[in-house]
Amino acid sequence: MIVKIKVDKRTFKIKDCKGLSSLRGLMFDDLEGKDGALIYANSIWMPFVRRDLNLIFLDEKMRIAGNCIASPVTFNPKTWKIYKIDKAKYCLELKDCKLKVNEKTKVRLVR
């Protein structure tokens, strides 16, 4: 399912990854027609992801708890990393976006 999410003044078309699709996230996804995905987890590992992603971790109230740029896993052991923020409940994965955000900024679904 595709939903729209607003971060500050920008709106993104996001793949809503509930249930088992949270395990898959954007693995093997070409992101055609989507800006990213909303994962229902506080940690991300990036095997089979094709590009760098801007990860925005959200708390239970959909406020920003932290963010980073994540690189896909390659044969280089330095890329074998799990991205995690303990106080987060969700992770918003965005492609092609160097979005500057402040912690505690509220992210909201657009209907």
pLDDT in tens, 36-66: 889 898 988 888 777 888 899 999 999 999 9
Q: What is the pTM of this model?
A: 0.84
Burial of 98 (0-12, 13-18, 19+ CB in 10 A): exposed
Maximum mean pLDDT: which of 32-36, 41-45, 85-89, 92-96: 85-89
Q: Is the pLDDT of residue 28 over 80?
A: no
